Amino acid sequence: MQSKSQSGLVLLSLLAAVVYMSPAVFADTIANDRVAVASSGTTVIYNFDEVKMEIEDGKSKVCLCRCLSFRALQILASQFPNGVIPNDDIRIYTGWTTDGAEELFVDLMGWNHGDLSFLENSTDPVHLTTQDAVFFFVQRSSGNVWKVKTNEGLYPKEFFTYRTLIKTGQATDSQVIFFQTALRPQAVLNMTTLPLIDKFHVQLVPYYGEGGVLRLPWVFLAGGTEYEA
């Protein structure tokens, strides 16, 4: 899949005062296939099985990029007392530069295009690795920023090595077969089998003060407060 989302905005100002708050780390377990998203006063329950499929080359298959985005959103939902995510209050920044995030958040769940951006200097879609599977969810009303990332074990070993070989046209026939019959099916199984325990990690990013900038790795946004991941 090719990328469509836009990168983050540029740094406008520097932070003057510094106030530190220790980061909060939470238990990371996904026990069901549902997530609740509120938009314009209406709450919609989305089911994983209803959004995970895509059509490619005329064939239906599980879209791992949509799955990744959905599971990350479920982890975010655990940080809200009622489990409902207000999409008009949340901006999303991700290092995962395929179409999957936009297809899920914007096309299916109603986020505005302007509220989904790629982190600056992100890896191109062909050379993605586990390190790029990171999402920053920024809540406008509270100033909170949650960082959700994957842990080792969500994708099988060498998954991304073989994926890149295939996408760059350098894979042998046996490598293609191994990826399609072993590595990708295992990744799908890891992403779809419940419960998902310790496959994702969420952290409330440290808060540093007011009147400066909102600062994330590789992305700078105008206004707000400064965070560090």
Asked whether 184 and 156 are in contact (CB, 8 A), the reply is no
User: Which residue has 């920044």 as its token pair?
Assistant: 93
Nearest to 85 by CA among 63, 98, 100, 104: 104
Position 165 pLDDT exceeds 50: yes
Q: Average pLDDT of 206-222?
A: 46
- pLDDT, position 120: 84
- pLDDT, position 28: 78
Amino acid (one-letter) located at 142: S
The model's pLDDT over 49-100, given as tens digits with 9 standing for 90+, comes to 999 999 988 999 999 999 999 999 999 999 999 999 999 999 999 999 999 9
- Per-residue confidence at 26, pLDDT binned at 50, 70, 90? very low
Q: Average pLDDT of 10-31?
A: 42
Position 130 pLDDT exceeds 60: yes
Phi, psi of 228 (to 5 degrees): -140, 135
Nearest to 5 by CA among 86, 107, 87: 107
Q: What pTM, to 2 d.p., does this model score?
A: 0.82
Q: At what angle do helices 184-192 and 64-77 cross, to 10 degrees?
A: 20
Residue bearing the bigger pLDDT, 58 or 159: 159
- pLDDT, position 2: 44
Q: Average pLDDT of 118-126?
A: 92
For residue 133, the number of C-alpha atoms closer than 13 Å in the C-beta half-sphere is: 24
Amino acid (one-letter) located at 65: C
- pLDDT, position 206: 65
- pLDDT, position 176: 98
Asked whether 210 and 190 are in contact (CB, 8 A), the reply is no
Pairing of strands 196-197, 29-30: antiparallel
- pLDDT, position 6: 42
Structure tokens at 19: 């106030």
Residue bearing the bigger pLDDT, 9 or 25: 25
Phi, psi of 160 (to 5 degrees): -75, -30
Q: Alpha-carbon distance 170 to 166, whole Å?
A: 6
Position 151 pLDDT exceeds 80: yes
Q: Alpha-carbon distance 204 to 25, whole Å?
A: 7
Position 201 pLDDT exceeds 60: yes
Asked whether 209 and 18 are in contact (CB, 8 A), the reply is yes
Q: Average pLDDT of 119-133?
A: 94
Question: What does the domain layout of the chain look like in residue ranges?
Answer: 23-152+196-221
Collapse the DSSP code of 37 into the 3-class scheme (helix H, G, I; strand E, B; otherwise coil) and give the result.
Answer: strand
Q: Alpha-carbon distance 58 to 73, whole Å?
A: 28
Residue bearing the bigger pLDDT, 210 or 46: 46
* Distant-in-sequence, close-in-space partners of 195: CB < 8 Å, separation ≥ 6: 29, 30, 31
What mean pLDDT, rounded, does the chain reach? 83
- pLDDT, position 44: 97
- pLDDT, position 27: 53
Backbone dihedral region for residue 120 (phi beyond 0: left; psi -120 to 50: alpha; all else: beta): beta
